[in-house]
Amino acid sequence: MAERENRNTVEIEEDKHGGVWRLYSSEVMAALIIVVLVIAVAFFVNKFFYGFDLPELSFSEPVVSDQYSGPGKKEKSFVQSEDWRLVLVNRDHPLEEDFDGELTELRYGQSVDSRIYPDLQAMFDEMRAAGLDPRVVQGYRTSEEQKERLDNKISEYMGYGKTREEAWQLAVQWEAEPGTSEHETGLCVDISSDSGDNESANAVWEWMDENCSRFGFIKRYPNNKSSVTGVKGEPWHYRYVGPEAAQEITAGNTTLEEYLGAAR
């Protein structure tokens, strides 16, 4: 009888502990599910509020990582043209001095080198006559403004957990080092539409691609020339080089680097 009572006690004890384990397991699973849900919600909230500010945020290797080690690198064999319209400014060929010419302020506060203004105005007049609504969204920038833009982009990438070096490598794909941006020359413009929507902006860029060379402008950074220019494709960025050079560059499907014999 005692043996049977002992056996019943053991069975009750085992059942009791088994129930506790089952209850504990349920609580752990519930906690894990809550943690996963919290992480997922945080990720999508972060993506919604910040992800769209970083187009193509793939953290892939930079376009020029194997060709460029920092600002100031120059090709010794290249000599700058004496024609002011053909000055080459990029990572390998930084500006030797700050812009000291005359600027013309445009309708929405941007400025350009006064020497390119007549052709820029004539081009915009023709676009508007064709029913388009072009707008210069970026023109001349000082080296201080360029540095601020780059610093902001570096901070943006560091906010995504990148080291400063990693953030710099990614940031220079979108913002040039001070002294290496064409915007510091006053000879280039970033163009979009006045309304800013994708459809009207694309219409402006299509018109520009077909007609801008007549007015002395070229698409400076085509999608298929990143290995030459060191810059990812920018459909909005146009550079003034003068009508003759612009038509030769456009007809030959080349870049300013190739035209000047300074391709990498």
* 101: phi then psi, degrees, rounded to nearest 5: -90, -165
Q: Is 258 a catalytic residue?
A: no
The rounded distance, in Å, linking the Cα atoms of 4 and 63 is 80
Helices (H), the chain: 2-50, 117-129, 143-158, 164-171, 198-211, 226-229, 243-251, 256-259
- How far apart are alpha carbons 158 and 166 in whole angstroms? 8
Polymer length of the chain: 264
Residue of 148, 234, 248, 258 with catalytic role: 234
Spatial contact of 90 and 80, defined as CB atoms under 8 Å apart = no
- Which residues on adjacent β-strands are paired with residue 104? 112
The residues near 32 (Cβ < 8 Å, ≥ 6 apart) are: none
- Under DSSP, the state recorded for 190 is E
Q: Looking at the annotation, which residues are catalytic?
A: 234
